[in-house]
Amino acid sequence: MPVHYERDDARRRIVATSVGRVTLADTLATIDRQAKEGAWSYGVLYDARGAEDIPTQGDLKQLVLHIGKLTTKYGPRGPVALVVLDRTLTTMARRYGKLAALTALDVRAFTTMEEAERWLETKRSTTEGTEDAEDQT
C-alpha cells in the first residue's frame, strides 16, 4: 500500500504517509476516503518523505480540479501540511499550494514533521475558536 492512512478524530487530523511509488490514483483515493468518511474539514499531515515519484504539473492540475469538485460538495477542506525533503518535490508542493488556493485550500510545505504539526495545531486552534464563536450566536 503506497499511502498509509490514519484518522485521529480527537485531533481532527488525517495522517497520510507515502512510501515508494505513489500514483495520482493513489493520492485521489486517499482524498476521496477523507471526504467519504466525513473528515473533509480535518487537517491533513501528508508525509511524502518516503515517496519516490514526483507529480507532474498535469497531476497537480487534476488534483486541484478534483479537490474543487469535492469542496463544492462538502465545503472547505481542512489545511494540508506536506512534509517533503526532495528539492523538486518541495517546488511541486509549493506549486500545488498556489493552485490549491483557487479552491480556498490552505496548503504549506515543510521539511520536518514538527514544523508541520505546529502549523496544523495553530490552524486547528484558529478554526475551533471560530466554531465556538459561531455556536454562541
- Where residue 49 sits, what CATH number does that domain have? 3.30.750.24
Tens of pLDDT, residues 23-65: 999 999 999 999 999 999 999 999 999 988 888 889 988 988 9
Helix residue ranges per DSSP H, the chain: 24-36, 57-74, 87-100, 113-136
Q: Which helix (H) or strand (E) holds 105?
A: none
Residue written as cell 495545531?
121
Tens of pLDDT, residues 91-102: 777 777 777 766
| 115 burial level (CB within 10 Å; 0-12, 13-18, 19+) | middle
Q: How many domains does the chain have?
A: 1
The whole-model pTM stands at: 0.83
Residue 7 sits in which domain range? 3-136
